Amino acid sequence: MTTTNSDSLLPAQGIEAPRSGRIDPKYLRNKSSNGSFEMAAWVFMRVSGLALVVLIFVHLWVNLMVGDGIHQIDFGFVAGKWANPVWQFWDLTMLWLAMLHGTNGMRTIINDYAEKDSSRLWLKSILYVSSTVIIILGTMVIFTFEPCLVNNETGELFDSVPAFCHDL
Amino acid sequence: MSTPTQEVAEPASKIDLAEAGGSGGEIPSFDITLKVRRYDPERAEDAWWDEWTLTMYGTDRVLDALHKVKWEIDGSLTFRRSCAHGICGSDAMRINGRNRLACKALLKDLDTSKTITVEAIKGLPIEKDLIVDMEPFFQSYREIMPFLVNNSPEPTAERHQSPEDRERFDDTTKCILCAACTSSCPVFWTDGQYFGPAAIVNAHRFIFDSRDDAGDMRLEVLNDREGVWRCRTTFNCSDACPRGIEVTKAIQEVKTAILTRSL
Ligand code: HEM
Ligand code: SF4
Ligand code: FES
């Protein structure tokens, strides 16, 4: 005689008899989903992490330790750095890697801690939108940055511009 | 004819036993407070905590304390145990917040001045008191094909393997499927979708077995969205394993195997 699921229910409280082969549907996995993306993400976290160590510490060293150190940082200092293609490239790489690394890290945390699919969807949507906005905005700032700001009323350069603007 | 020898009767014990009367060293006894998280859908909708003060001995384990309650105080207390000697894997539970086998956790190793709390392992549906539904756990285990697959013609004798090849997966042969590792993993707690450390350990057992031919298939199974890449290397599983298996290391080896295979 075969036992169907309903036959194997114990009378009280609908507790299943042992080994009725039933699995709480919450635990069923969607038919095997390809994990290649997850593998790539895993590798990316490690590779970008390594690159970020170099990028971030050189960045901190150059900004805070070299020359006048922390006292040198002002509009002119940043503007001067971004007039140099090396620092443009450096900061762009740092921006993209840190943002993608951080976003993927947050994606992992959401996957690990959000309990409902709907809250996952919401949190991830907010995450992806804000990351996209920040990456686009940051990239635009690095490339369209105007170091030599001119006061529209007087037609003169602002005091805060880097020194090289006066030579132009 | 040989020289007749005088047979001397062997003593009952070769060790000098002290005279009967308890001078063999008193086993120290102490009082413990045992607090158990109870759940019984036929009695109450929600779980509740019960607390007992028990006089136990220095040689007793948490399992003995549970037995004392069940046999002498409250027969309705429900838990699994079979061997009582750390080999069947029935009695994994959360003791003072850590997954342990009740039959291997000596009371004297816990802080007996404080309440000892015992709960069912986390992340699997509780059926009653300390008993959880292990079916989802075993489903993941089945999916990694925990059996030898060999495509070559069956040999007439055993399949030979060098001691070095055998050593390669020795650690993961020790698993007793107690679920202490999987139910200690925060990633598994969230939604129960992750294959979990135990499934990966038992896949490792065959993936690195030189006699097995289905390693690729197992790697493919574990290269799932819910497979090895969900591991966050928290080491909870290695801490929980009553067999001392280096669970996190085994998971890492499977990750590396999937990676090198796809390169
Ligand atoms: C300093 C260099 C950095 C290194 C070496 C590094 C390394 C890593 C690695 C290897 C992981 C993966 C952990 C895992 O899979 O379990 C990770 C996760 C993460 N990283 Fe970084 N990272 C660095 C910088 C950053 C920065 C600048 C941010 C923020 C923008 C960030 C945010 C995150 C987040 C949110 C996670 C997810 C946390 C988790 O999975 O537990 N990291 N990091
Ligand atoms: S690996 Fe260890 S903790 Fe996990 S099921 Fe096997 S014996 Fe239990
Ligand atoms: S009762 Fe068998 S392992 Fe504890």
CB A142 within 8 A of CB A88: yes
Contacts of B74 by beta carbon, 8 Å cutoff, 6+ apart: B50, B52
Closest Cα in chain B, distance from residue A133 (Å): 27
> Which residue CA neighbors atom 6 of ligand 2 most closely?
B175
Average pLDDT of the segment spanning B37-61: 95
pLDDT interval class at A35 (50, 70, 90): confident
Asked whether A35 lines ligand 1 (CB < 6 A), one says no
pLDDT at A5 over 50: no
Superfamily assignment of B29-132 in CATH? Answer: Beta-grasp domain (3.10.20.30)
A43 interface with B at CB cutoff 8 Å:
yes
Instruction: Name the amino acid, one letter, at B119.
Output: E
C-beta of residue A35 within 8 angstroms of C-beta of residue B254: no
Residue B127 in contact with partner chain A when CB distance is under 8 A: yes
Mean pLDDT of A10-20: 57
Tell if the pTM clears 0.80, that is, is over it: yes
Q: What percent of chain B has pLDDT over 90?
A: 85
pLDDT at B1 over 70: no
Residue A118 forms contact with B (CB below 8 Å)? no
Q: What is the mean pLDDT of chain B?
A: 92
3-class SS shares of chain B: helix, strand, coil, % to 5: 30, 15, 50
Spell out which residues of chain B touch residue A41, defining contact as CB-CB under 8 Å: 229
Ligand nearest to the CA of B202: 2
ipTM entry: 0.80
Give the residue from B133, B222, B251 with the most A CB atoms within 10 Å of its CB, the best one to mutate. B133
Count A/B contacts: CB-CB distance under 8 Å. 67
pLDDT of residue B4: 61
**Is A32 part of the contact surface with chain B (CB cutoff 8 Å)?**
yes
> Ligand 1 centre and the CA of B183: distance in Å?
25
Closest ligand to C-alpha of residue B93 is 3
CATH of domain B135-149+165-262: 1.10.1060.10
pLDDT tens digits along B202-260: 999 999 999 999 999 999 999 999 999 999 999 999 999 999 999 999 999 999 999 99
B262: chain A residues, CB-CB within 8 Å: 36, 39
Please identify, by atom number, the ligand 3 atom nearest to the C-alpha of residue B86: 3
**Ligand 1 centre from A96 Cα, in Å?**
14
Q: Which residue has the higher pLDDT, A155 or A118?
A: A118
The CATH 3.10.20.30 portion of chain B extends over 29-132
pLDDT in tens, B182-208: 999 999 999 899 999 999 999 999 999
Residue A16's pLDDT band (cuts 50, 70, 90):
low
Q: What's the whole-number mean pLDDT along residues B121-125?
A: 96
Residues paired with residue B106 on neighbouring β-strands, in sequence order: B61
Residue B186 burial (CB < 10 Å; 0-12/13-18/19+)?
middle
Contact residues on chain A for B192, CB-CB shorter than 8 A: 24, 26-27
**Per-residue pLDDT tens over the stretch B12-23:** 666 666 565 555
pLDDT digits (tens, 9 = 90+) for B80-104: 999 999 999 999 999 999 999 999 9
Query: In this predicted structure, what is the pLDDT of residue A4?
Result: 45
**Ligand 3 neighbour B89 (Cβ under 6 A):** yes
A47 shares contact with chain B (CB less than 8 Å) = no
Give residue for tokens 């289905």: B214
A85-134, pLDDT tens digit by residue?
Answer: 899 999 999 999 999 999 999 999 999 998 888 999 999 999 999 999 99
* Ligand 2 site-directed mutation target among B140, B144, B176, B239, most atoms within 8 Å of CB: B176
Q: How far is the CA of B89 from the centre of ligand 3 (A)?
A: 5
Stretch B165-176: mean pLDDT: 97
CB contact under 8 A, B229 and A12: no
Residues of each domain in chain B carrying CATH 1.10.1060.10 = 135-149+165-262
**CA–CA gap between residue A146 and residue B41 (Å, rounded):** 70
Over residues A18-47, mean pLDDT: 81
Within 8 A of A24 by CB-CB distance, chain B residues are 125, 133, 135-136, 192
Name the β-bridge partners of B131. B128
For chain A, the structural domain boundaries read 35-147
Other beta carbons within 10 angstroms of residue B233's beta carbon come to: 11
Interface test with B, best of A32, A44, A117 (most B CBs within 10 A): A32
Contact A23 B139 (CB under 8 A): yes
Q: Across chain A, what does the average pLDDT equal?
A: 84
CB contact under 8 A, A23 and B186: no
CA of B176, closest atom in ligand 3: 3
> Model confidence over B101-116: pLDDT tens digits?
999 999 999 999 999 9
Quick one: three-class SS letters along chain A?
CCCCCCCCECCCCCCECCCCCCCCHHHCCCCCCECHHHHHHHHHHHHHHHHHHHHHHHHHHHHHCCCCHHHHCCHHHHHHHHCCHHHHHHHHHHHHHHHHHHHHHHHHHHHHHCCCHHHHHHHHHHHHHHHHHHHHHHHHHHHHCCCCCECCCCCCECCCCCHHHHHC
Query: Is A14 a residue whose pLDDT tops 80?
Result: no
* B190 with A113: Cβ contact below 8 A: yes
pLDDT for B8 beyond 90: no
- On whether any CB of chain A is under 8 Å from the CB of B42, the answer is yes
pLDDT of residue B121: 98
Q: Please name the residue of chain B whose CA is at the shortest distance from the CA of residue A10.
A: B42
Pick the CATH number of A35-147 from 1.10.10.10, 1.10.1200.30, 1.20.1300.10, 3.30.160.100: 1.20.1300.10
